[in-house]
Amino acid sequence: MIAIALVFGSGWRPPGWLGPVFAFVSIAGANFGAGRPFVRSAFLLPLGFALGLSASWIELKTTDTVMLSGNATVRISGRVLLREQDDRGRYRYTIQVLATERPHLSRPPERVRVLVSSRHEALAIGARYEGLVRLQPPAGPAFPGGYDFAFMPYFDGTGAFGYSLGPPNPSVEPGTLGVFEHVAKLRLLIGDRIRAVMPDERGAVAAALINGERAGIPDDIEAALRVTGLAHVLSISGFHMALVAGMTMLAVRSSIAAFPSLALRWQARKIAAVAALGITGFYFLLAGDNAATERSFVMIAIMLGAVLVDRPALTLRNVAIAAMVVMLISPHALMTATFQMSFAATAALVGAYGAYSRWSKGVGDDLSPLRTLALVVIGVFVSSLIAGAATAPYAIYHFQRAAPFGLLANVLATPIFSFWIMPLALASVCLMPLGLESLALVPIGWGLDLVFWMAKALAAAFPDYGVGQIGSVSLICFTVCLLLLSFCQSHFRWAAVAPLVLGLLLVPAASRPEFVISEDARDIAVIGEDGRVIDLRKRPNRFVHDQWKRAYQLAPLGRSKDDRKTFECKEQICRAKTRSGLRVAWTDQLEKLGELCDTADIAVVARAPRIESCRSGAKLLTLRTLRRTGAVALERQRGGWALQPSIPQAFEEWNQHRSAPWPERMGGEKPGQKKLKGARPRPSDSGGSDRRDDPAP
């Protein structure tokens, strides 16, 4: 774990031979100290470090996703791998790109995701996609220290996102489909059957729970679930896998127990474990290529395997083995919020369960029904409290968001999902071959109506709020505290107090930059001492602005655009002053560049000229410079101020496309070529031009 964190978190790139050398020294030292357990254990510790180094090196060397190096309007031809439909009826296709033309891209991405708003007959899985699209690379962090949206797409193989300019050409029937394409077709079929019974938000959430389709969930439902800390139910993860495995084992064991002659001859527990492994394996395939689902299935498979070899299933050893397997398969997963939060919650819950089991030894098992019900209610409450406390530092670190009343929502909603919605979801899939799925789906809708009502009411009464940023060192301290509390069984667990206190002390004091600018130069926020913002425009990008609001604890946007304070714009130049008096000026006209440099301390030009500095000494930010730095924040430091980039200037693998040539543009067609219907010959938004001072639109 430490080696992987160093490689993916600090930018360290060790030579390929270092891991095997560490492993050789570790194994040789362990053999040398075979008769001395302490020496043997001490030499085996570096073996984990060696495995982490080797796994990280192999993944970085074998992952060669081509990321689009800028915005491009291009006609693509490819094969449809996945299809989703959102709540507005638009289709989103994941396409394996086979060819590009007009222009022909020299660095075409191998896989793209395209949103099609135009009406058209939905393309089948495996069909050929041909059409004009507008593509762009994954976005970088919205602020220094923020989440890099290029990280996961790089390892998932997706090199660009975009939207169509018109409907795709009608496609012929798909050819031969592979195994995963057949699974994708089955996923679509199940989703269609669900929406046929519930063609509203209930059907969208039910499809997310059953087959992993989340595109159709309305924004208001997703927002209410996120504010109340219930968004985790929308992603098929350990919670869903555990429920499906548990329900399958209960059903199979109960069925065998109903026939005493079979129960006496067969090992019902192991048969139930095999059945649960098969059902959860099918559930994993159905849920699609999802990192959280993959990790959850690995964990469930290890625990069910423990049952088959007569070992305890719920042990911290199994949790550790599952984490190691996932990190060996996908080392980069360690840096993701889903990995950290899922294993933090699992380790805390299993550790607490072990502590309770040791404490409850000798306590009578003969409980009345009332006391049993009370224990169940208390167990749900305590489990939600433990899981919420274990995941809170990671939620704050990754999302700068806290939902203090999420405990209440989880206590109320968890029983509904555990004993009502998920059992019926499993039953609905079993009933689909008989055409009787409505018998289970209709009651699922009732349960979801109750959850939606509860989530909206709690979100209105107890909203979440931005809490600012915590540093990586603080997060490491909290992680050490969690590991000590979960894995230690003796009084040594009191040692967890030290890293907890240290982590709290190292949380940086709240500070706000004087201004922050997005990497497309279309959004700028000048921030006051009180958190009030002067925006570049009256309608800022809400997705970007919400991230700034949480990270820097900014005042909320006004209810209407007339309530928002913006830059003063005159003669195609917009101006504002920071709280320390620095003059900030913005324009999207190249001919205004000289005037900006002469009259501002920070000049922002939403174009891509070759010039990168002002003769007046003013700091110049353009699309060309922002392409390298990503979003930039202005922070006061001793002796002056400094612009902090969000992208390390020694580009990591998932950001190396920032130094590649910009994509070819449609305006580069040779004379005499026929123009594409509906195409507009314009350069890319990130300055897709090789001419010296050609602007980007």
Least confident of 206-220, 239-253, 679-693: 679-693
Name the percent of the chain lying above pLDDT 90.
40
36-52 pLDDT, tens digit each: 777 777 777 888 889 99
pLDDT at 519: 92
Q: Which one of 122-136, 257-271, 293-307, 505-519 scores highest in mean pLDDT?
A: 122-136
C-alpha 518, offset from chain centre = 20
6-30 pLDDT, tens digit each: 999 888 898 989 988 888 888 888 7
Own/partner contacts of 530-539, CB < 8 Å, gap of 24 or more, are 530/555, 531/555, 532/565, 533/557, 533/565, 534/565, 534/566, 534/567, 534/576, 535/564, 535/565, 535/566, 535/567, 536/566, 536/567, 536/574, 536/586, 537/566, 537/567, 538/562, 538/564, 538/566
Give the pLDDT band of residue 289 (cuts 50, 70, 90). low
Flag whether pLDDT at 630 surpasses 70.
Answer: yes
Least confident of 369-383, 525-539, 676-690: 676-690
Least confident of 352-361, 521-530, 677-686: 677-686
553-578 pLDDT, tens digit each: 887 765 555 556 888 999 889 999 99
Mean pLDDT of 240-247: 88
Give the pLDDT band of residue 91 (cuts 50, 70, 90). very high
pLDDT at 353: 85
* Local structure of 6: helix, strand or coil: helix
Dig out the tokens for 208 from the structure.
């997310």
What are residue 516's DSSP bridge partners? 525, 633
* Local structure of 64: helix, strand or coil: coil
Mean pLDDT of 518-543: 89
576-589 pLDDT, tens digit each: 999 888 999 999 99
Kindly list the distances between the CA atom of residue 182 and the CA atoms of 126, 187, 190, in Å, as whole numbers in the listed order.
9, 9, 12
**Helix H or strand E segment including 385:** helix 369-399
pLDDT at 272: 92
CB 463 within 8 A of CB 401: no
Q: Is 166 exposed, middle or buried (0-12, 13-18, 19+ CB in 10 A)?
A: middle
Q: How far apart are the first and last CA of the chain?
A: 45
Task: Give me the chain's average pLDDT, please.
Answer: 85
125-172 pLDDT, tens digit each: 989 999 999 999 999 999 998 999 999 999 999 999 999 999 999 877
CB 624 within 8 A of CB 687: yes
Tokens 């000590």 correspond to 484
Comparing 657 with 238, the larger pLDDT belongs to 657
Flag whether pLDDT at 543 surpasses 60.
Answer: yes
Dig out the tokens for 594 from the structure.
């000289």
DSSP for 152-175? HHHHHT--EEEEESSPPPP-PPP-
Flag whether pLDDT at 63 surpasses 60.
Answer: yes
263-275 pLDDT, tens digit each: 888 888 999 999 9
76-88 pLDDT, tens digit each: 999 999 999 888 8
* Local structure of 324: helix, strand or coil: helix
pLDDT at 560: 53
Flag whether pLDDT at 675 surpasses 60.
Answer: no
Q: What is the pTM of this model?
A: 0.86
Residue 585 has φ and ψ, to the nearest 5°, of: -135, 145
Closest CA to 504 of 467, 482, 466, 471: 471
Give the pLDDT band of residue 667 (cuts 50, 70, 90). low
Residue 405 has φ and ψ, to the nearest 5°, of: -100, 15
pLDDT at 480: 93
395-405 pLDDT, tens digit each: 899 988 887 77
Name the percent of the chain lying above pLDDT 70.
92
Flag whether pLDDT at 693 surpasses 80.
Answer: no
Mean pLDDT of 592-603: 91
Closest CA to 385 of 354, 406, 371: 406
Flag whether pLDDT at 469 surpasses 70.
Answer: yes
pLDDT at 375: 78
Flag whether pLDDT at 678 surpasses 60.
Answer: no
Give the pLDDT band of residue 322 (cuts 50, 70, 90). confident
